Structure 1
Amino acid sequence: MTEHAAFTMDRRTALKTALGGGTLALAGCLADGASDDDFRIGAPWDVGSDPLEGGHALRRMGVTEALVAVDYDAEPEPGLATDWERVDDTRWEFSLREGVTFHDGTALTADAVVTSLERTVDAEAFAGVPIDVVEAVDDSTVGVETESPFAPLPAHLSRHEAVVLGPGSFDDGELTEPIATGPFVADSIDPGSQLRVVRNDDYYGETPAFESVRYEVVEDDQTRRMRLENGELEMARILPQEAVDSLEATDGIDVYTPEIPRIRFLTFDTQSEPFDDRRVRQAVTHAVDREALTDSVLEGVDDPAIAPISPEMTDWADPDLEESLFDPDRARDLLEEAGWTMAADDEIRRRDGEMLSIEIVTFDARSLPLIAEVLQGQLADVGVDLEITVLEYGTMLDTVSQGDFDAYLTSWGTLWYPDPDRLADMFHSEGDLYHGYENETVDALLEEARELDDREQRRDRYHEVQSIVLEDAPIAVLTSYTNVVATASTVSGYEPHPTEITYGLERIDLESS
């Protein structure tokens, strides 16, 4: 890789704007950061200045980088660290890439990495990662000690929250601007509106073709599509599955539909009626015709799914799970066994005079409300009354975190970081999903898998976890997930990343139209 002279962002020295206080102008630009020459991306997700607080767009836009990157097979690969070694059960050492400078011209050193990672380790997002000490072994080596053996450490250090920020990013310990090492430099950040980045001509790696890129927050699906078709965007992301056919028939537009490691699923409150009874959870799982669901509202773009990890994407998935769970007669039998019966002239089951009426909470993205409506009809066929409540995403999380739900319908990336330790987030009794599920065997398997070096031994344990939770049904996996991304046909070099961690802007160009 070519080494470049240091790049000095001397115009930033006048910046004293606190993060979160409106537009953050980073390089002397106008507040709106607009330029007719920008490559323009429209997506529904907000932008933030802090990687610990919603700053994922910074990573995807090529501003920030981490010690560990993620390759296009969803496996860890060298990032700012060229390699790493597990020295013993609880100690790792990461060798830093040479010739790397931050956007303000200061050198990437072990001390700078330690300062940045210590902030990450102290954050709530890393509460479940048992890092004890981060230290500089020498100028180009970072040591990490964990409290217990922790095999997925490199994968966790690839996360958005673990990106490395330079010392100039902070003033008295407070983050004032994200000065990082990526192929693009943050130029202006307007939360709720846009992020504009400019090319880092002194990047150690491949220099981008674009001088500037603007990410625009466009929440409405149809508005993103319309702006692409009108030439107001060069890329529109997270478009609805039902738009694929018409987009593919539109001149001047290319459509990408990669399946990614993400699922849509129901999460049950296993601590309260009616879903404290495993039979009722299983009944819902068997009542759902996933193929009919994907063929209807999802236009056959996504596939039915029953497990959190797809065997078509990685060997971390259990290949021996049955392919289909749809069995409405079995669902009716399970409900009968659980005491929910239905008279011949009734449409809804009852137990002790109480109707089997449940509420599903969801949010308006990734076609979830449409899926909820299909579930409403399919569950009615087995005597379950379903009410749907659509909330803002943050409100939904607040609601379910307080245990005020029967079930909620959501979507998760199951290799959000490239390791099946993500299953611990989903199914460990101290994990991140709000379901109240506790299984000592599952906890033990997940904890053992974290400690082991051998991939096959780890895989065996994760396969067993997937088999157990399919039977226990704390969640009901419904579909796989296909990212629908459309670009102007003049865009070349775009390759969708399976974990959505980057847009790969440094490899994209525009052909002459």
Structure 2
Amino acid sequence: MRTPVALTACLLSSSLLLTGCFAGAGAQTAATDEAGGGGRIKLAMMQPPRSGLSPFSDDAFKLSRWSTAETLVKLDEVGDAQPALATSWKRISPQVWEFTIRSGVTFHDGTALTADVAAFALTRATSASPKPRILDGVRLTAVAKGNSLVVTTAEADPLVPQRLSSPQLSILAKAAYSATRVNPVGTGSGPYRLVEVRGTSGARLDRYDGYWGGKARADGIDVSFVPDGAARAAAIRSGSAHLVESVPVSQAALLAPETITEVPMPRTNTLYLNTRSGRLKDPALRAAIRAAVDREALVKGVYEGRADLATGLLGPALPWAAKGRAELTGRTAAKAPAGTTITLATFSDRAELPEVASVLQQQLQQAGFVVKQVVREYAHIEEDALAGKFDAFILSRATVLDSGDPIAYLYSDFACEGSFNIAQLCDPRVDAALTTAKGTAAGDARRAAILAAEAAVLRTDAAVPLLHERVIQGDSADLMDSAKDPRERMLVTAETRLR
């Protein structure tokens, strides 16, 4: 594919050229008071839209990070559902939920939010092809009932409110939905109105003064898409961007410490061990691998200290995990590898993983294993990994998917019928724990059940968690109150402003 001309210019990567990549660079105004305000925020993002900013795709996360599209529900720090475009909800039966729609909300085209509009938007999501990922395996209907929205699922689902928090189920004005596409330009409901999308080069948003939550502090947002990590970091150094997402680890040390924020991500770098075939079918050898891994060497060496040591599958992005996790007992004792030969595989698409594989190879060989290493592009290795062709596989895996709940990840990776079961695990105790957690209502009881399921997985040594990755964000000294969101749903909010 050809690189668009505007994008190519951005990647030429001198700070002079980068300045020109931000629309409205000359439109910035002075702050109105000591607390900051006014001006336009210049934002550099890593990836351009892949699906025309359709809310049914991963592009939806751009819309939420720009505060232009909103959902019925939002999540708090621990993943509990909180009011957004819906002010309250109740469960009528195991399969039926009723949501009260917020009054006084207008979309950016001037039309009003109603239960009928919300039902229309959700119905379009359920019939989209492909469906939003949050609706995989979920049959859902939505109908208006006065000022309420009634959502019915084919099976009992205790996570309906959390599902409706996904940016892929944002509610837009009816005018956004044509027969063939969804157009978010001028049809959202957030504090910023999307007014222009310039293909893969950028976008422009202006403050929407009719926002139901109060006017935004800044005048607008000028977005540029800059895939090159070094160029994004240079934009902070040169002052040509106020806010930069996803600064590479290799670039972070080149930036002034006060311009860098590291936020734990719900993403774990994990060593999956084949429990069904090969040498690691022996749980004592899996235990030997677990005992041989030096996590600290990976964090300090490969990630330059910009990651967190893993004590479980779920990391610090879920603060309740460490607080509720009990000491793990009942683990298999390790036995000496005695020259056992294993194949260790990973993929090259994520730059750090081949280096992680090399370090692990050395650690395991020092412990007495003979290790053969395989590294390919992900597209050329996934099929073999899922088929159990390797003894061990290193994967960087998101542990919290669209609902904000880790059960979907745990089930897909470790249940007998899991669709992403690289470890080939099929353990009745693990399945029982996952089933219990899946059926438990949201809240403390569900979190406790999730940690019990995590413990059941770890006792099998089917997976050795290595480290938890961080998202590194760049904020210029001129910017105040950007969001630091581990789920990467929020970035610029109504309170984000220039000094």
Relative to 1, partners in 2 of residues 1:107 and 1:124: Cα closer, same or farther, differing over 3 Å? closer
Query: Among 347, 350, 360, which residue is 1:364 paired with?
Result: 350
Aligned mates of 1:120, 1:397 — CA distance in 2: 29
Preserved contact between residue 362 and residue 408 of structure 1 (Cα < 8 Å): no
Map Cα deviations across residues 111-165 of structure 1 (whole Å, 9 max, x no partner): 2111211233341614445344221122x21111122322122111111211112
Instruction: Report the alpha carbon displacement of residue 494 of structure 1 after superposing the two structures with TM.
Output: 2.3
- Indicate yes or no: 2:427 matched with 1:439: yes
Query: Among 150, 165, 182, which residue is 2:172 paired with?
Result: 165
Aligned mates of 2:215, 2:275 — CA distance in 1: 51
Query: Among 232, 236, 245, which residue is 1:224 paired with?
Result: 232
3-state SS of paired residue (2:49): coil
Aligned mates of 2:481, 2:158 — CA distance in 1: 34
Deviates more, 1:46-55 or 1:313-322: 313-322
Q: What does residue 450 of structure 1 align with?
A: 438
Aligned mates of 2:274, 2:204 — CA distance in 1: 41
Query: Among 204, 209, 212, which residue is 1:201 paired with?
Result: 209
Q: What does residue 59 of structure 1 align with?
A: 64
Instruction: Report the alpha carbon displacement of residue 400 of structure 1 after superposing the two structures with TM.
Output: 5.2
Q: What does residue 495 of structure 2 align with?
A: 507
| Structure 2 residue identity aligned to 1:379 | L
- Indicate yes or no: 2:135 matched with 1:145: no
| Structure 2 residue identity aligned to 1:163 | S
Relative to 1, partners in 2 of residues 1:248 and 1:166: Cα closer, same or farther, differing over 3 Å? same
Relative to 1, partners in 2 of residues 1:402 and 1:141: Cα closer, same or farther, differing over 3 Å? farther
Query: Among 92, 109, 112, which residue is 2:117 paired with?
Result: 112
Q: CA RMSD in A?
A: 3.3
Instruction: Report the alpha carbon displacement of residue 364 of structure 1 after superposing the two structures with TM.
Output: 2.5
Mapping for residues 124-143 of structure 1, pairs under 5 Å: 125-128=133-136, 130-138=138-146, 140-143=147-150
Map Cα deviations across residues 207-250 of structure 1 (whole Å, 9 max, x no partner): 2233332333323322211121012211122223455454345x
Aligned mates of 2:190, 2:277 — CA distance in 1: 48
Q: What does residue 189 of structure 1 align with?
A: 197
Aligned mates of 2:292, 2:219 — CA distance in 1: 53
Map Cα deviations across residues 87-106 of structure 1 (whole Å, 9 max, x no partner): 22221111111111222122
3-state SS of paired residue (1:484): strand
Q: What does residue 50 of structure 1 align with?
A: 54
Aligned mates of 1:111, 1:401 — CA distance in 2: 43
Q: What does residue 411 of structure 1 align with?
A: 397
3-state SS of paired residue (1:258): strand
| Structure 2 residue identity aligned to 1:378 | Q
Preserved contact between residue 73 and residue 498 of structure 1 (Cα < 8 Å): no
Aligned mates of 2:317, 2:293 — CA distance in 1: 22
Q: What does residue 325 of structure 2 align with?
A: 319
| Structure 2 residue identity aligned to 1:34 | A
Instruction: Report the alpha carbon displacement of residue 414 of structure 1 after superposing the two structures with TM.
Output: 2.7
Deviates more, 1:310-319 or 1:442-451: 310-319
Relative to 1, partners in 2 of residues 1:146 and 1:192: Cα closer, same or farther, differing over 3 Å? same
Relative to 1, partners in 2 of residues 1:271 and 1:221: Cα closer, same or farther, differing over 3 Å? farther
Preserved contact between residue 68 and residue 155 of structure 1 (Cα < 8 Å): yes
Query: Among 454, 458, 479, which residue is 1:491 paired with?
Result: 479
Aligned mates of 1:60, 1:85 — CA distance in 2: 28
Relative to 1, partners in 2 of residues 1:73 and 1:460: Cα closer, same or farther, differing over 3 Å? closer
Relative to 1, partners in 2 of residues 1:43 and 1:401: Cα closer, same or farther, differing over 3 Å? farther
Deviates more, 1:308-317 or 1:220-229: 308-317
| Structure 2 residue identity aligned to 1:487 | D
- Indicate yes or no: 2:23 matched with 1:34: yes
Query: Among 75, 82, 91, which residue is 1:77 paired with?
Result: 82
Preserved contact between residue 46 and residue 246 of structure 2 (Cα < 8 Å): yes
Q: What does residue 214 of structure 1 align with?
A: 222
TM-score (norm 1): 0.78
Map Cα deviations across residues 31-60 of structure 1 (whole Å, 9 max, x no partner): x98221352222323424112222121111
Q: What does residue 458 of structure 2 align with?
A: 470
3-state SS of paired residue (1:224): helix
Aligned mates of 2:360, 2:449 — CA distance in 1: 32
Instruction: Report the alpha carbon displacement of residue 275 of structure 1 after superposing the two structures with TM.
Output: 5.2
Relative to 1, partners in 2 of residues 1:410 and 1:59: Cα closer, same or farther, differing over 3 Å? same
3-state SS of paired residue (1:215): strand
Map Cα deviations across residues 429-478 of structure 1 (whole Å, 9 max, x no partner): 44453424333433333333333337444334222211111122343321
Preserved contact between residue 47 and residue 189 of structure 1 (Cα < 8 Å): no
Relative to 1, partners in 2 of residues 1:22 and 1:62: Cα closer, same or farther, differing over 3 Å? farther
- Indicate yes or no: 2:487 matched with 1:480: no
| Structure 2 residue identity aligned to 1:363 | D
Relative to 1, partners in 2 of residues 1:100 and 1:269: Cα closer, same or farther, differing over 3 Å? farther
3-state SS of paired residue (1:501): coil
Relative to 1, partners in 2 of residues 1:186 and 1:279: Cα closer, same or farther, differing over 3 Å? farther
Relative to 1, partners in 2 of residues 1:111 and 1:493: Cα closer, same or farther, differing over 3 Å? same
Aligned mates of 1:510, 1:460 — CA distance in 2: 42
Instruction: Report the alpha carbon displacement of residue 66 of structure 1 after superposing the two structures with TM.
Output: 0.8
Aligned mates of 1:453, 1:291 — CA distance in 2: 36
TM-score (norm 2): 0.80
3-state SS of paired residue (1:171): coil
Unaligned ranges ≥5, structure 2: 7-20, 28-39
Relative to 1, partners in 2 of residues 1:161 and 1:454: Cα closer, same or farther, differing over 3 Å? closer
Preserved contact between residue 163 and residue 402 of structure 2 (Cα < 8 Å): no
Using the aligned pairs only, state the percent identity: 24
3-state SS of paired residue (2:91): strand
Instruction: Report the alpha carbon displacement of residue 509 of structure 1 after superposing the two structures with TM.
Output: 0.9
Deviates more, 1:405-414 or 1:64-73: 405-414
Map Cα deviations across residues 326-373 of structure 1 (whole Å, 9 max, x no partner): x9xx76x26x4xxxx42xxxxxx44xxxxx3332224225x4344333
Aligned mates of 1:500, 1:99 — CA distance in 2: 28
| Structure 1 residue identity aligned to 2:447 | R
Aligned mates of 1:117, 1:232 — CA distance in 2: 39
3-state SS of paired residue (1:284): helix
- Indicate yes or no: 2:461 matched with 1:461: no
Aligned mates of 2:370, 2:125 — CA distance in 1: 45
Preserved contact between residue 265 and residue 317 of structure 2 (Cα < 8 Å): no
Deviates more, 1:82-91 or 1:206-215: 206-215
Map Cα deviations across residues 303-341 of structure 1 (whole Å, 9 max, x no partner): 210322237843355511459x9x9xx76x26x4xxxx4
